[in-house]
Amino acid sequence: MIFKKRSEPLELVLYRLLNTRMDLSENDKKHFWTINKGYEGEVRSDIWLVNLTDDWLALHDLLLEYNQSTFQIDTLMIAYEKIHLLDVKNFEGDYVVQDDKWYNPAGVLQKNPLHQLERCETLLKKLLLELGYHFTIDSYLIFNNPEFHLYIPPIQPAIIFPTQLNRFLKKLNSGPVTLNKKHFQLTEQLEGLHKIESPYPKLPPYSFEKLKKGMTCRVCRTFLTDETLICKKCGCIEEAEAAILRSVNEFSLLFPDIKITTDRIHAWCGIIKSKKTIRRILAKNLDLIRHSRSSYYILKE
């Protein structure tokens, strides 16, 4: 049973929008690629876990804190008297382990994911004890990219390779599973402790004035060239109202502290000539906040 679903990280959404509207530095492009790759691996893991029996309680994408130390859990599965902590890695290519050090295909030293897993397990165990729970925790590194290979690995049962995923799932499904009130109580507590971290401090600097204006195709993200809203690259067609509202949503994500006004959205969309059209769509779909000097719109909840 999926108790907490995974949503696309806001940081990834924002980077995707910025990548379309500005020239990212090489470091920012690398970071964008990394978080996108990580999310793809997590989604692949979620699809794989669909075959798990309903007797498990699964929480995806938890950000928890213990003693002022935050730690991220890709997937936590609760059942019986045991918790399974899964750390998903979407590594690709041939990695090498030498003297407990991990090297990527380019030979660059990486953080040891087993050390990261151990830290996460330690903090989770302390948090559970503080909450009054004494569950055993089994932690695993899940490598689910079929293009991944690890050379000279130590004997490490905590590592699950792509070729072992099906056997691991059968092992989970064959174990004794009995859910009771305590399990649901813990699941609700952990979901309530989930922290939402603002991604904005991690983003490259940008401003409304410097970002490229215009409306993009909802499929291939190419900039549209005229009010027909027909993408010249992939042929996608979108209704004006849907396209404008999508642009409003992008604006509000990128500039949460800037008020939504007809003039700003008209400038943001670029190719919509009529302010009257913009005003009509905003009035229909958003809430108008009237002020003596100026009025603005807010998204409906």
pLDDT tens per residue across span 211-237: 999 999 999 999 999 888 999 999 999
From the list 134, 121, 7, the residue with the least C-alpha distance to 64 is 121
Residue 122: pLDDT band (50, 70, 90) is very high
Give the helix/strand (H/E) hosting 71: strand 69-79
Rounded mean pLDDT of the chain?
A: 92
Give pLDDT, residue 69.
94
CA distance 186 to 116: 23
Give pLDDT, residue 73.
96
Residues 6+ apart with CB under 8 A from 34: none
Give pLDDT, residue 199.
94
CA distance 93 to 103: 11
CA distance 268 to 157: 53
CA distance 114 to 121: 10
Look up the pTM and report it.
0.86
CA distance 241 to 31: 33
pLDDT in tens, 50-92: 888 877 899 999 999 999 999 999 999 998 778 999 999 999 9
pLDDT in tens, 242-290: 999 999 999 999 999 999 999 999 999 999 999 999 999 999 999 999 8
CA distance 269 to 264: 9
pLDDT in tens, 20-41: 999 999 999 999 999 999 999 9
Give the helix/strand (H/E) hosting 274: none
pLDDT in tens, 150-167: 987 777 889 999 999 999
Give pLDDT, residue 82.
87
Q: What is the dihedral of CA 223, 228, 232, 233, to 10 degrees?
A: 60
Give pLDDT, residue 155.
76
Give pLDDT, residue 178.
79
Give pLDDT, residue 157.
85
pLDDT in tens, 157-211: 899 999 999 999 998 888 777 788 999 999 999 999 999 999 999 999 999 999 9
From the list 75, 95, 92, the residue with the least C-alpha distance to 84 is 75
Residues 6+ apart with CB under 8 A from 262: 275, 278, 279, 282
Residue 293: pLDDT band (50, 70, 90) is confident
Residues 6+ apart with CB under 8 A from 248: 260, 265, 268, 282, 286, 299
CA distance 150 to 153: 6
Q: Which amino acid, 177?
A: V
Residues 6+ apart with CB under 8 A from 130: 66
Tell me the β-bridge partners of 72. Answer: 63
What would the DSSP string read from start to end of 136-197? EEEEEEEE--TTEEEES----TTEE-GGGHHHHHHHHHHS-----HHHHHHHHHHHHH----
Tell me the β-bridge partners of 138. Answer: 84
CA distance 124 to 164: 26
